[in-house]
Amino acid sequence: MIDLSPLLNLDPLLLLGLCLLGLFTGFVAGLFGIGGGMVMVPFIVYFLTLIDINQDLVLKIAIATSMSTIVFTSLSSVRAHHKKGAVRWELVKGLAPGLILGSLISSAGMFSLFKGTTLALVFEGFLYYSATQMYINKKPKPSRQVPDALGMVGAGGVIGFFSGLVGAGGGFISVPFMVWCNVELRNAVATSAALGFPIALTNVVGYIYSGWSELGRPALSLGFIWIPGMVLIAVCSVLTAPLGVKVAHKLPVKYLSKIFAALLYTLATYMLYKTVTQLLN
């Protein structure tokens, strides 16, 4: 039987903070069509510093917990895109084997080998890259067709590997790749949303396996996944994602994306400052 007493010992303000984070990231995911992992991770890192935990594991648990929420939130997104006939399922099938392999190598292997500070620098670099891509909103020019089966497996492997390292759904990599291969942007975004589920599910399995024997994990954790954070964020994000979708159709999202990019730059800079400070001490 699972001991739920540690949940009762959590600060009510911490639980409220997780709920608010879920509401915010759900709205952002619906507004910009992303998984929200980049926003979640820095805040989960902060919340984890408030409880009893091995500090070197904080970022790993934040990344794994963030990814675990995408398992649930991606399903509603895929359903909506599928109803509109926008998902290119043949691309999903072509990329999926590589996604699974790359995700497993990353989450079940490399993820546990990286030190916390090294992983932090990788994540911060990805934050800066994602913020820049969102700020300039520059899409690659279509220049070729979708590669053959082997090429699709290779591309899926790269997307899955980096997604597993930084806890993101892969949209910032998969969408530019598909657009570069002459896939219409609307279909690329929808297909990327469909790819989010196998990426998240495979990485979650890897995070559980690689973190199973780690010492210093918080109470109520499954491998590297912090269950209270996963449940509260996932439940609350599902509530606000539809609102984000509605707003996206009424407001000039290209201007809002610049504001969101500024938020990512701020979070990346804050995390970089904390990492450098830790390295110097």
Mean pLDDT by 10 residues, the chain (281 residues): 58 90 83 70 88 83 90 76 83 92 87 78 83 74 78 90 78 78 80 85 91 86 92 88 73 71 83 82 71
Number of domains in the chain: 1
How high is the pLDDT of residue 1? 45
Tens digit of each residue's pLDDT (9 = 90 or more) over 220-277? 889 999 999 999 999 998 888 778 767 766 767 667 777 777 877 888 888 888 888 8
Q: CA 190 to CA 163: how far, in whole Å?
A: 17
Q: Does residue 5 lie within any of the structural domains? A: no
Q: CA 80 to CA 86: how far, in whole Å?
A: 9
User: Hey, what amino acid is at 252?
Assistant: P
How high is the pLDDT of residue 145? 78
Q: Does residue 221 lie within any of the structural domains? A: yes
Which residues, including other chains, have CB under 8 Å from residue 38's CB and lie 6 or more apart?
A: 126, 127, 130, 166, 168, 264, 267
Q: Does residue 76 lie within any of the structural domains? A: yes
Q: Does residue 6 lie within any of the structural domains? A: no
How high is the pLDDT of residue 97? 93
Q: Does residue 3 lie within any of the structural domains? A: no
Instruction: Domain of residue 78: give its range.
Output: 14-280
Q: CA 74 to CA 109: how far, in whole Å?
A: 24
